[in-house]
Amino acid sequence: MMTPQDASKHTEEICRLAPVIPVLVVTDAAHAQPLATALVAGGLPALEVTLRTPAALDVIHEMAQVEGGVVGAGTLLTPADVEAAKKAGALFGVSPGATDRLLDACAANDLPLLPGSATASEAMRLLERGFTVQKFFPAEANGGAKALKAIGAPIPQVRFCPTGGVSLSNARDYLRLDNTLCVGGSWVAPRDLVLAGDWDGITKLAQEASELEA
């Protein structure tokens, strides 16, 4: 069984692969492999497929076949979600918040988790369980980079991946923070480009994101 400390180590390695983790809502599994290929080619290997569509598990399965990609499952809410994601081929999980049942399920299934926290108390509770890498969500609604900086001052042990309202225009505000490893965002795979099959366009957006620096 994976310990929270081991999980956080693996999660940190994934978060350090690139400055941006694409947050993907994919409705058609046929788009999975070309989308993942385009993002990886642009320098974004860590991919979060949210479990918000009926196709999500098939999408994870297909993306797991793409060389160079590290595919995870987002929007994990229940132990059943964790088991299904792991079976589909997810290498890590992401959750909007955290419950004991969810944390225990990820440990039992050896699935590294990026658990969500929005307040100092939530960050401290996860830290007590050994999670030193967390998702700050929803980032902009919770005060943005200024709030995350303020949380980081008394809790320097925790590093974050802020997600929710993060875009190309404000990503650097987060990446400048000492307690930010990377950001999560959907702007690198806009729905219109995915539906149009404009994989070159998505690769260009990924390249732009991969070059973001503090």
pLDDT of 85 strictly over 80: yes
pLDDT of 164 strictly over 90: yes
For residue 23, what is the enclosing H or E element? strand 20-24
Q: Which is higher by pLDDT, 3 or 112?
A: 112
Tell me what the mean pLDDT of segment 72-95 comes to. 98
Q: What is the pLDDT of residue 6?
A: 87
Q: What is the pLDDT of residue 214?
A: 59
From 62, 135, 149, 213, active-site residue:
135
The CA distance from 17 to 140, in Å, is 23
Tell me what the mean pLDDT of segment 78-100 comes to. 98
The CA distance from 61 to 90, in Å, is 8
What is the pLDDT confidence band of residue 27, given thresholds at 50, 70 and 90? very high
Tell me what the mean pLDDT of segment 66-78 comes to. 98
Sequence-distant (6+) residues with CB within 8 A of 139 are 145, 148, 162, 163, 164, 165, 166, 174, 183
Which residues is 180 bridged to in the sheet?
160
The CA distance from 213 to 176, in Å, is 8
Is 208 known to be catalytic? no
Q: What is the pLDDT of residue 190?
A: 97
Is 48 known to be catalytic? yes
pLDDT of 187 strictly over 80: yes
Q: What is the pLDDT of residue 1?
A: 84
pLDDT of 212 strictly over 90: yes
Backbone φ, ψ for residue 122 (5° rounding): -65, -40
Q: What is the pLDDT of residue 213?
A: 82
Chain mean pLDDT for the chain: 97
pLDDT of 189 strictly over 90: yes
pLDDT of 169 strictly over 80: yes
Tell me what the mean pLDDT of segment 116-128 comes to. 98
Of 116, 109, 62, the residue nearest 86 (C-alpha): 109
Q: Does the CA dihedral 86-87-91-97 come out positive or negative?
A: negative
* 176 contacts 214 by C-beta, under 8 angstroms: yes
| The two structure tokens encoding residue 25 | 């809502």
From 13, 48, 83, 140, active-site residue:
48
Which residues is 163 bridged to in the sheet?
184
Q: What is the pLDDT of residue 2?
A: 81
